[in-house]
Chain A
Amino acid sequence: MPPGLPRYDYFDHDADTGVIGRGVTLQDAFVHAAEATFALMCDPITVAQDERIDVEFEEPDPELALVTWLNLLLAHANERGLALGCFELARDGHRWRGSAWGEPWRADMERGTQVKGATLTALHVTPQGDGWEARCVVDL
């Protein structure tokens, strides 16, 4: 990962927002892209790690894997009514296994904007320096 750059960041899009995750490994970059995505909905520091979500999928294309990873997290968080703040991802060839931790939405949580889904727009997973950068536009 290039020194001095934050592990997650955002880029501009007219109606929505672009998320960026950076990491030493591809999996790290994806984890940080998930942090960027869920930080749009609430501050991850305020989220307790009481409940866990597990996701598993097979995808040979790293770019489609990023979108699939984010969309599975969004779907399961939405389904279970959870705010998520912590993520983990492992990869074995084309097989991806990840987990996320969070808690049910509390009335006193400061809310941001709901992310509807990760899109294929401005979707790039590329080597950057000694690490990786993963980015795409998320629909708000």
Chain B
Amino acid sequence: MDIAKLHSIDPWTWTVPRTPGDTRHEARLYGSRELLAAMDDKVLEQITNVARLPGLVGAALAMPDAHWGYGFPIGGVAAFDPEHGGIISAGGVGFDISCGIRCLRTNLTADDIAHKAAALADSLLDQIPAGVGVEGSLRLDANELDTLMAGGARWAVEHGYGSADDLPYIEEHGCVDGAVPAHVSALAKKRQRGEMGTLGSGNHYLEVQRVAKIYNTRAAEAFGLAEGQVVVSIHCGSRGLGHQIGTEYLVSLAKAASRLGITLPDRELACAPIQSPEGQQYLGAMNAAINCALANRQILTHLARRVFTHHFRQSQLDTLFDVSHNTCKAERHKVDGRERLLYVHRKGATRAFGPDHPSLPARYRQVGQPVIIGGSMGTGSYILAGTAESENRAWSSASHGAGRAMSRNQALRRWRGRAVVDDLDAQGILIRSHSMRGVAEEAPGAYKDIEEVAAATEHAGLARRVAELRPLVCVKG
């Protein structure tokens, strides 16, 4: 991206100047000069397009890990007011609705698992259904899926997957209101029949990690983290059901926008007013998919616990937190001193509530919500905590991942999967995958520097670093 096209508010906050007469809202980007310079020009184009959507409140925002998406940039955040013609956009949520990360803290240290790491990795690959074309052992008919979509992770707990103790540590306590399974097509439900409890492929993973560094002792204590401790992160989403909802509503909302006279700068921004019948239908279906994703990560948590118990009889894996990345959520935020109900789109961005937010479990109330920034399988991830400042800067939002530095095609030209696995093995990181092509596409070098993303997220006031995690075992989809 040509930095000369931006105006710097401070070293971590940038805005796209408006030409005289342009009535769009502000388009704001967070990040270091280096991160922004490395972004594709399409990010600028896309976030500026978002700033033209009806009913937008405040600025259209790009997080420090932003990259070229479809419609919205990935790392895009935007809030809309339903009382002022605000819209809901399928392109602002994405295909993998509520894709997110469940982080589990264990009572094990890296030393505890070192002698069994290879066996643990093999068992995880064997027991966690992963990769394209792989189904889970759970098969649900349409009626059972309707119940699941209404209940989210609570449904999973009620059916023996995990414990009720997990629920306070999941966004919306494991179940978002407003799910309307009737707005989910029969085809979407058919696609999901064998997909519950599956990881998927691409950038999805289950990773066993070591806490390598603590940045903030008070927050780390609240999160139950200490150096050397083993944690497990599960990155996946709503699988075929979410993909199908995204697919169907992308086209139907594009047609609705045209019919309702909404001028779209990019057809991928397919949207409808939140209060319109089309907007309400998408909202009901999207919420159903969010609950599907929450249930999916709950089931995978159960499977991971079973594997750990097999190898480490006394192991305990408690849910640290579960964050979703691709959502549009109804939230109350203060605008010019007045509380308003806004629909906040986070496309490849994490909700990051600061201290004292009423939705946080008591354990985290004083330090803020855990925010998990997932990195590549070679470089590590970060746990951060939401800040009070983020409310004003980004509707309490933060980065979600390292962000790709190069395309999948470029990665395939540069790396071979087997060589990536061998190279990481030499560094003490065990990779297990059914797809060597997938491993090459996800090579650590294909991603941006996550340290820089995490630091920029902190410097921009979006969340503050608590702990750095380094990978030990990674099961790739």
Contacts and interface: CB of A to CB of B under 8 A. Distances in A.
B437 A75 contact: no
B96 A116 contact: yes
A122 to B, nearest CB: 9
B407 A67 contact: no
A96 interface: no
A84 to B, nearest CB: 11
Most chain B beta-carbon neighbours within 10 Å: one of A10, A15, A79: A15
Most chain B beta-carbon neighbours within 10 Å: one of A74, A112, A116: A116
Contacts of A74: 243, 247
B437 A17 contact: no
A17 B409 CA distance: 7
A46 B156 CA distance: 38
A14 B40 contact: yes
Nearest to B39: A14
Most chain B beta-carbon neighbours within 10 Å: one of A13, A76, A105, A123: A13
B94 A81 contact: no
B191 interface: yes
Nearest to A140: B202
Contacts of B194: 81
Interface in B398-419: 403-404, 407-410
B268 interface: yes
A9 to B, nearest CB: 10
A68 B251 contact: yes
Contacts of B42: 14
B434 A12 contact: no
A83 B134 CA distance: 11
Interface in A87-122: 105, 109-114, 116-121
Nearest to A107: B434
A78 B407 contact: no
Contacts of B95: 116-117, 119, 139
Contacts of A114: 131-133, 200-202, 477
Interface size class of A (residues with CB under 8 A): 35 or more
Given A15-B69, A17-B409, A120 B438 contact: no
Interface in A1-46: 10-17, 41-42
Given A17-B408, A67-B251, A120 B436 contact: no
B67 interface: yes
A114 to B, nearest CB: 4
Contact of A71 (B200, B247, B270, B404): B247
Contacts, number: 130
Nearest to B250: A120
A50 B132 CA distance: 19
Most chain B beta-carbon neighbours within 10 Å: one of A17, A83, A120: A120
B324 interface: no
Nearest to A80: B190
A110 B407 contact: no
A69 to B, nearest CB: 12
B187 interface: yes
A113 B134 contact: no
B191 A17 contact: no
Interface in B31-70: 40, 42, 67-70
B292 to A, nearest CB: 14
B240 interface: yes
B435 interface: yes
A125 interface: no
B443 interface: no
Given A79-B187, A113-B435, A120-B254, A13 B407 contact: yes
B133 A105 contact: yes
B68 A111 contact: no
Given A12-B409, A16-B408, A113 B133 contact: no
B356 to A, nearest CB: 35
Contacts of B69: 14-15, 121
A137 interface: yes
Contacts of A83: 133
Nearest to B433: A111
A53 interface: no
Contact of B135 (A75, A81, A111, A139): A81
Contacts of B190: 79
A48 B389 CA distance: 57
Contact of B68 (A11, A14, A42, A120): A14
Interface string B1-13: 0000000000000
Contact of B243 (A68, A112, A117): A117
Given A16-B408, A112-B435, A78 B250 contact: no
Interface in B217-252: 240, 243-244, 246-247, 250-251
23 contacts: A12-B407, A13-B68, A13-B407, A14-B40, A15-B68, A42-B133, A74-B243, A75-B191, A81-B133, A105-B134, A111-B133, A111-B438, A113-B438, A114-B201, A116-B95, A116-B202, A116-B246, A117-B95, A117-B247, A120-B254, A120-B270, A139-B246, A140-B408
Interface of A: 10-17, 41-42, 64, 67-68, 71, 74-76, 78-79, 81, 83, 105, 109-114, 116-121, 123, 137, 139-140
Interface of B: 40, 42, 67-71, 74, 91, 94-96, 131-135, 187, 190-191, 193-194, 200-202, 240, 243-244, 246-247, 250-251, 254, 266-268, 270, 403-404, 407-410, 434-438, 441, 477
